[in-house]
Amino acid sequence: MLRNKFTVRVNLIILLLVISLLFFYITSCGLFSGEKKDIVPEGTEVEFEIKEGMTLKEIAGLLEEKGIIDSAFLFRLFVEERGKEGSLIPGIYTLEASSEYEEVLTKITAGPVVITYKFIIPEGFTVKQIIERVTGDVPFIKNEDMEQAVDISDYSYDYLKDAESLEGFLFPKTYEITIDYTARNIIEMMLAQYQLETGSLDYSFAENKNLNRYDVLKIASLIEREAYVPEERALISAVIHNRLDIGMKLDIDATLSYILDKWEEGLTDADKENESLYNTYIHAGLPPTPICNPGLASIEAALNPADVDYLYFVVTDSETHTHSFASTLEEHEKNRSNAN
């Protein structure tokens, strides 16, 4: 009888120990915790970040916590078996909950997908238009940051030494950037493109006329805004050069359009009496700055005008926007009367 009581007591103690161990295990797994882990539905896209310096153990724990894998321990074994523990690339990823280990490993050893943003700067855009285009197409670049980034005093490149603003130097092109770019990075990239495109050009023609590179850029900007047909660039360049040679006013609408920001509507007689130095109906010579950011073809035309004695041009076909050119005022008036 005494032996039976002893046996019952031993069995009871063992049972209590088993229950205690089981309770401890369940508690440690969080099953009785008030912080029960949420179960992410299978197939749900989950974003996570592998930070620089994270160990395989930390990465596996993060993946389990996010619901992307079912077991951090088994995933670690899977990665180690393939010898990939040193090949996990930091970055931001998106994977589905309850993904296969192979899929997860393939993705985090290939590296994160790099998202890029494109914006197109057409030939002839002004700095103002470029700011509007960039901030309109790139969601993380703010207008005020671009306004600050185009301050020429922040740049010390040799080719900017005679310039009053960055107008003319922001080279037109299709650009592609990543999310880590700042407004200044964008401007630096455009300035670098200008230097790349123009660095090998022959400026000897301009130098022989006592024109510096900034003068050439001003002329190129006038050509860009006046020439609608590529074949006319060299002819318009010739008119500008010929007028400069004899001290004749340029009488170019585009210089006034620039300072008045009136590109779509026609200029009035009152506009042409504006005292601005950009008014080439009043002031001889080139405007203070370029009036837009010209493309390479217009810069080349400024350096290589056609060998003609034209002093005038006027649009004579409103549909094609082509010009008729003349050497005398009489011929020019005739062309104007024939314009449609």
CA dist list (Å): 104 to 55, 58, 113, 228, 325:
16, 15, 14, 54, 68
DSSP codes joined into one string, 38-93? PPPPTT-EEEEEE-TT--HHHHHHHHHHTTSSS-HHHHHHHHHHTT-TT-PPPEEE
Tell me whether residue 249 is exposed, middle or buried, using C-beta atoms within 10 angstroms of its C-beta: 0 to 12, 13 to 18, 19 or more. middle
Mean pLDDT calculated for residue range 17-30? 47
pLDDT in tens, 206-245: 999 999 999 999 999 999 999 999 999 999 999 999 999 9
8 A C-beta contact, residue 280 and residue 297: no
pLDDT in tens, 292-325: 999 999 999 999 999 999 999 999 888 888 999 9
pLDDT in tens, 140-187: 999 999 999 999 999 999 999 889 999 999 999 999 999 999 999 999
In this prediction, what percent of the chain has a pLDDT beyond 70? 89
Could you tell me where the beta strands, DSSP code E, fall in the chain? 45-50, 91-96, 116-120, 174-178, 312-317, 322-326
Mean pLDDT calculated for residue range 252-276? 90
Token code pair at residue 138: 């790139």
pLDDT at 24: 47
pLDDT at 68: 94
Domains in the chain, please, with CATH? 45-110 (3.30.1490.480), 116-198 (no CATH), 204-337 (no CATH)
Predicted TM-score (pTM) above 0.85: no
- Among 21-35, 150-164, 216-230, 270-284, the range scoring the smallest mean pLDDT is 21-35
CA dist list (Å): 174 to 26, 65, 117, 244:
60, 42, 10, 34
